[in-house]
Amino acid sequence: MVNIVVFLVWCFTIGAVLGSTYSTLVYRLHTHQSVISRSKCDNCNHVIAFYELVPIVSYTLLRGRCRYCNTTIENTTLKYEIVCACITLGIGLICLRVL
């Protein structure tokens, strides 16, 4: 039972990371930014620390605002993270033959 829970949490986490990466790539390619540069706030250009880039968790803990300038962060990336996490969770459930 523990192995199944760990597997499903892993599926959800991998999906959130993939969604975050996909969202970031789409945003940067559309705005002609480098895809290998560090993430930074669009308003104050402050580089975002690695612990502020945890998918879903960081947005929730920061309440959708930049830690440095308190500007509202668009929730587009959060939506991608949640949708991709749910998709991979569904795939995980299918692999376990739960669905």
With binding defined as CB under 5 A, does residue 68 bind Zn ion?
A: yes
Distance, in Å, from the CA atom of 85 to the CA atom of 19, rounded to the nearest integer, reads 7
With binding defined as CB under 5 A, does residue 56 bind Zn ion?
A: no
With binding defined as CB under 5 A, does residue 66 bind Zn ion?
A: yes
With binding defined as CB under 5 A, does residue 72 bind Zn ion?
A: no
Q: Pick from 33, 43, 75, 76: which binds Zn ion (CB under 5 A)?
A: 43
Structure tokens at 56: 């879903």
With binding defined as CB under 5 A, does residue 48 bind Zn ion?
A: no
DSSP class per residue in 37-97: SPPB-TTT-PBPPGGG--TTHHHHHTTTB-TTT-PBPPSHHHHHHHHHHHHHHHHHHHHTT
| Span from 17-25, 26-34, 49-57, 67-75 in contact with Zn ion (CB under 5 A) | 67-75
With binding defined as CB under 5 A, does residue 47 bind Zn ion?
A: no
Find, among 21, 11, 5, the residue nearest to 88 by Cα. 11
Q: Which positions touch Zn ion (CB under 5 A)? A: 41, 43-44, 66, 68-69
